[in-house]
Structure formats: structure tokens, C-alpha cells
Chain A
């Protein structure tokens, strides 16, 4: 079974702090994604990566950066956390080998609260 793990289930940070969210997948997937999920807005794509050291902006990249130094690990970085970044953060991965059956496998999520 595909397993996508995230470093923390719950996280509380203060405004201005630097925050790292880690995601690891064990299925040798090429693609990895970071989303945030807010009530009434659904999942919104922040950044994604098709390969090591490669990153692409999603729909809402402002205030975030990412790092993919190894294939299995994709990190989301909040350089200076703000209260409007309080949200559920979901990581996902998918294989790059199929053009159509691109199921994304999701991690359990990290609920981040910025005070």
C-alpha cells in the first residue's frame, strides 16, 4: 500500500515564526503536491513537484516555499507564519507513469494553527 506520512498531525505556531511541514512517501512516486484545505473552499494547490529539485507554483503559492532534495521527501516552508495560514495542510503523491490514471494518494494532514 502507498503510504504518505506527514511530520505532525497538529501544530501550533506564533505569528512570524518559520514553519516546516514535512511529507514523505514510500512508493517512489515522481509527483508530490502540497494543498491547503479550508471550510467552504475545498482543496487548493500551493506547490507541486515533478522531480527532485524541481518545483512549480500552484494556485496559491504566496507566503510559501517548498524544497525537494530527495525523491521521497517534499517540504513546505512558511517563512513567516501569519494567522491567515491557519489551515489543514495535505500532502499527496502520484506516479508519473500514467497520463490518465493519476490517482493522488494523500497523507493524513497537518492542522496548523497560527496564533
Chain B
């Protein structure tokens, strides 16, 4: 069964600090992996996408890594800001008919001043 597991479930950090969120998946065959940011009361918005051949992708202060061999991804946030407080969802797409998505449960990040 395709699964995506994220850790930690929640995280509180001080403004300006760095943090790393983890995503492990068992989706096979693999097509791509996305990290979404979901602000409270809003729909998720895509931050990064990585395919099998990519092992790192940056979007401003967000850097995602992918190890397709161990089926792990991480999202590193540098110099956190209050606006980074949100849920971060790891989403894996299978390379099959329909390219259906498997969603992780998300990590809820709170950045405190």
C-alpha cells in the first residue's frame, strides 16, 4: 500500500532559527514528490517539486532534498519567519495510470517571536 509518513507531527521554533521536516514514502513506481505549504484556513500551495533524478531543489529559504534510494525527503527552512507558521504537506505522485497522489499527514510548524 502506498504511504507517506511525515515527522514530526508538530514543531515549535523561535523566529530566525532553522528547521528540517522529514518525509518517508513507500509509493512505487515513483514519479515525483512535492512539498506543499498550507496556511491556516487556506488550501495547500506548492513549494517545490522533485523528480527521480533530482536530489535538491530550492525555493527562497526553503530547500527540499530527495533520496530516491532510501525513499526519503526533507524540507529545510532557513532563518524562519513568523509567516512560515503553517502546515507542510509532503505529496508523492506514482508513475501509474492517473498519477494519483498520496498525501502525508503534514507537519504543523509554529514560529514564535
User: A interface vs B, CB < 8 Å?
Assistant: 4, 9, 40-45, 50, 90, 92, 99-104, 106-109, 111
Contacts and interface: CB of A to CB of B under 8 A. Distances in A.
A-B complex: 4 closest residue pairs judged by Cβ atoms: A106-B43, A42-B105, A43-B103, A42-B103
Contact of A42 (B42, B46, B49, B106): B106
Interface of B: 31-32, 34, 41-46, 49, 51, 89, 93, 95, 98-101, 103-106
Contacts, number: 49
A46 to B, nearest CB: 13
B31 A100 contact: yes
A42 B104 contact: yes
Decide if the interface of chain A is mainly helix, strand, loop or mixed: loop
Given A90-B43, A106-B43, A109-B42, A101 B32 contact: yes
Contacts of B49: 101, 103
A109 B41 contact: yes
A107 B43 contact: yes
A66 B23 CA distance: 32
Contacts of B101: 45, 102, 104
Contacts of A43: 44, 89, 103
Nearest to B42: A108
Contacts of A50: 98
A100 B95 contact: yes
Contact of A103 (B34, B51, B105): B34
B32 A100 contact: yes
A78 B93 CA distance: 28
